[in-house]
Structure 1
């Protein structure tokens, strides 16, 4: 394979990230996160010692770069390719290191969010706004040893805002409007006093949207697809001075969208997507703080409905309703072992996770009706250790046994190391591990009329992956880290992939795939007022049986962004996203005719630019321009990227 020539001579990275059910670190509204990574053990770790390939987007970066949706925020992450079928609110999928979208797990404060009612268990990234998100953590590589099913390509954790420490009350907000009849607003109030902390926040967005149908289609009517969204978050907590805390979180989000069919516009195809999420969490410190134990209960309810009545363009009708629920109960523990012989800063994490998933869904036309009504339970036992050997080597390992009531369980593991080489200002990393994706409830129990029945005997999709990498600081521009160069090689083999049998009457574990690639990065700091970052991801993802390229995995993806502060109060943040030709296995020609076999979407480049001026210490004004080149690039065949847009707004924090 061609990318093998780029295999690194050094190792990359780790493995065990502590357990998702433990207390997440506090995040302050409107406050930048230091240059450390704080895992679920609440142990701050210097970024260069973190034994994982991790990208963290802070609240400050989200605002300075003008990200208003989760899809926009993730588009520049190395190794992560986002595919959205249109604009805001439209279906958006993530392909992480060449794995399928269903093999990427999304968490909210450490709790899985993937909707059980989605046919493949995939997550729709197009629905999530960011008004109540403090930071986003992306962990690349297998993470089932920590998070269980779905973490083959990696994990994306959304960390919600918290009340700022030491402030009895803080009010924050954001108001913007602009092209495509777009209006956006966020308003929140939070406080921390006498051991109690609380937060209330609401956000909304309305937009006329843009035409998702390519102009190359003769039948394009230039109809736009509107988007309406609302969300609210409430948090209340209490913490004592001896390490005991109790906390509750309630989050609601609802979107109303207009949709299109391919290759024609559809004037009355609409969707409604609603999620309720709630959690109760408590933890306490034992043995003078050496042992922390915690319990968490979380419930997620998703409801999606899609309606399409007959019209002049089509006599077909659709009335799809998906209802999914996930209940999670976690007991987690963290023990600080201290120094053990030659090992320093040793830590142990262990616990038990129990999940219950249920789905009640009906979709499709009356003659092709898909029905899924099922419930499943699973229990997992997991543990992990981490320590430093000597002054240079950080080691970690994790192990998890998932037990399910209606499919074979899976034993997943991950191990890794980070070696510091200060003589050349470098960090070397090496990691490997296994992961799995459980068959979805639809894949096991769904049915279509009398001619299709899910397969309750399906095995999980499984993977083995390893990665190796290096990061080096170069002394230029008058500072020891004037430039930082990084490179990571990854290799992922997946087995028992689920697909239709030959008669299309059920599903089987019949496919296998391999994804290899290199993530290259450079960060330049030529002046105190200028920092620029660029990444280039090369991916080769193929079906190992047919050698055909996997759909929607472009070979080349390049991202560039910068933070330019030419004046004390002004920050300018340009962003350029380039995606090379992307393979498709289902496409349409310019006449709107279906084309079978492998075709390629053309390459595309999108230019975004955001400028922020700090009017006062509490008030900032900004301008956000997206797709300034008005690219008509198609991330998915038959759907173009949204056209040029401009928003003007102001944010404040008092």
Structure 2
């Protein structure tokens, strides 16, 4: 079920290592996914997909997506592999320190109590990275859940989460295991002997300990994850791993007493990727790049102080993050071996202070805030060597960069009647380039994309208006928005193969050479409609529509992009669903998602056709807390185009997959 957060939040969970949602959030576009929605999801990004225009860079789930394409973006303004949304778990960012993407396998849905999706809304208290919005995950505090399931093509999943008490300590433990033999993304007649399934093995585990100290709560959390996956062709695969540590002290606000939160966190990640060049008839591959080690580490500190009195809520806070990392690679495969090596990386940091306030008076809610951040990119390097002679063939050490970004937001909400409300908001946000975008070139098939150490943060400004009607049988919401991204970071085509280019080397026939650039502006206007009806007990119907008309103005930097749509950004997306209880202990759920066509490249030359997918699930409750279920994902076996090469070879998402499983919640 999706619902807007209420204006007044009376219930406070005192055992949670987080402050309650601020009252001022009701002035912005917030969609809340509750525990029931998450209980039905096997992967978190698939649950988020119930919100239109929320998705990964490519039109697929993290079940088959390479780690570097698992960047989340909202509103289809301009998706990227790095993502243009900030994802946090109880305040700790989950975005990768090196690339900005999110490894979704690290967060089994069983370990969450809810998710808030803040569409746009400005940087506000969230901080750098919340360009098109924020996804705020809340970890479970009570109860537990587990799921055991098996599916077609060797698929299996086991995940669970539980809570308990050890004297004064409250523990929360979550773990997940998943595997699949996968599907072959390229189909006949294009498929050749070199094509392989997108197989996956992933596991994760976390433990949180909560200790009350006076009227405060001290929480420590540790987690780790690892996933290994095939990339769809012979000799190409990827491995991602990481750890996270956090220490949080929280006091809940109450009865005129201020609340506060202080949090320290540390995150590590590593990535290994093997890329290959494919023969024109896909009969064979040859190594093109081996990214054998990408160690990265991020640290962060955030603190907030909140006070509520006489209808006025205020919050003051600080937020600082630092990341460092490098990629280590071998490339230029000649004579049966790699002939060159590359080491590239650096350090980025951002530190900000903010002030937020909201006031409630009768039917009016007014909320706003100011924020000032300092960003920096320093100690960058890109060193390439000849592996036979150890001679340096490239030694690039770009100049350090830094600057300040001022952002603000203001929202107003008015209750027009007990059922109707209206709101309006204006906001700004920013996202600095990741270490991956600044320093690491990469190759997919025969396409090569160059890094750019001169990238500056992209900045978004936006306005929106919305109306909502909330009653027991029917909820309606509508939002109109207009957003503008300045200095948008875009992969710009600058050459085509076959040919040899400076720095990039040889680009094969059918391939293109791109470079990351701050390519002008992206302007987007859009409409979001949502409805949820409960015509009778045991039946819930829901539907949503999103339309985003986004266009690029490349200016003098990339005039060839002016008037085109950003890559991977559909105009239309829609979702529909039903939850039905036809008999006691039985539940039937159906969810559908449709997207209009999108383009796979910046020049809009590679068209990915529209796609409609439907999933259905039938569940029978065996006891008050145990259920057996069967689910068909992509029920009608729709062809979902996810990518297209320069020679017209199309990759497809997973075919129909049937699962059976047991789930328990308590």
Q: Same fold (TM over 0.5)?
A: yes
Q: Distance in 2 between matches of 1:220 and 1:575?
A: 36
Q: Does residue 221 of structure 2 align to residue 249 of structure 1? A: yes
TM-score, normalising length: structure 1: 0.82
Report the equivalent of 2:463.
466
The change in CA–CA distance for 1:178 and 1:43 in structure 2 (over 3 A counts) is: closer
CA deviations on 1:9-58 (whole Å, 9 max, x unpaired) are xxxx99x999xxxxx95799xxxxxxxxxx96415869xx8222112222
Q: What is aligned with 2:270?
A: 303
**Contact (CA 8 Å) 2:106, 2:205: kept in 1 or not?**
no
SS of equivalent to 2:563: coil
Q: Structure 2 CA distance, aligned partners of 1:44 and 1:150? A: 20
1:531 aligns with 2:531: no
1:278 aligned onto 2:245: yes
Q: Which residue of 2 aligns with 1:149?
A: 128
Does 2:426 match 1:432?
Answer: yes
Is contact 2:127-2:319 (8 Å) kept? Answer: no
- Paired with 2:21 and 2:552, the residues of 1 have a C-alpha distance of 41
SS of 2:47 mapped into structure 1: helix
For residues 188 and 125 of structure 1, the distance between their equivalents in structure 2, rounded to whole angstroms, comes to: 16
The alignment's TM-score, normalised by the length of structure 2, stands at: 0.80
Residue in structure 2 matched with residue 34 of structure 1 by the alignment: none
- 1:373 equivalent to 2:345? Answer yes
Distance 1:17 1:467, change over 3 A: farther
Q: Which has the higher contact order (CA 8 A, sep 6+)?
A: 1
Change (3 A) 1:87 1:238: closer
1:397 paired with 2:330, answer no
Which segment drifts farther, 126-135 or 89-98?
126-135
Partner residue in 2 for 1:319: 290
Counterpart for residue 53 of structure 1: 29
Are 1:334 and 2:300 matched, yes or no? no
The equivalent residue for 2:385 is none
Shift of 1:518: 0.4
8 Å CA contact 1:427–1:471 kept in 2: the answer is yes
Aligned residue in 1 for 2:411: 416
Question: Is 1:93–1:125's contact at 8 Å kept on the other side of the alignment?
Answer: no
| 8 A contact 2:410–2:426 mirrored in 1 | yes
Alpha-carbon RMSD across the aligned residues, in angstroms, is: 3.3
Q: Deviations over 1:320-355 (max 9, x none)?
A: 13222110111221112x11xxxx2x1111121221
Partner of 1:571: 587
Pick the aligned partner of 2:47 from 58, 73, 82: 73
Q: 1:447 to 1:207 in 2, by over 3 A?
A: closer
1:315 deviates by 2.4
Q: Does 1:132 align with 2:111?
A: yes
Q: Paired residue for 2:359?
A: 387
1:237 to 197, 210, 215: 210
Shift of the 248–289 alpha-carbon distance from structure 1 to 2, 3 Å rule, reads farther
Note if contact 2:364-2:414 (Cα within 8 Å) is conserved in structure 1.
Answer: yes
Task: Name the SS of the counterpart of 1:281 in structure 2.
Answer: strand
Cα shift at 1:364? 6.0
Counterpart CA distance in 1 for 2:356 and 2:318 is: 12
Give the Cα–Cα distance (whole angstroms) in 2 for the partners of residues 452 and 203 of structure 1: 34
Give the C-alpha shift of residue 194 in structure 1.
5.0
CA distance in 1, matches of 2:586, 2:537: 13
Q: Which residue of 1 aligns with 2:74?
A: 96
Q: Tell me the CA shift for residue 452 of structure 1.
A: 11
CA shift digits 1:227-275 (9 cap, x unpaired): 11111111111125x5211111111111111112xxxxx2232211112
SS in 2 for 1:183: strand
Structure 2 vs 1, CA of residues 135 and 504 (structure 1 numbering), >3 Å: closer, same or farther?
farther
1: distance between equivalents of 2:519 and 2:331?
Answer: 29
CA distance in 2, matches of 1:302, 1:211: 28
CA distance in 1, matches of 2:38, 2:404: 38
Alignment of 1:21-40 (within 5 A): none
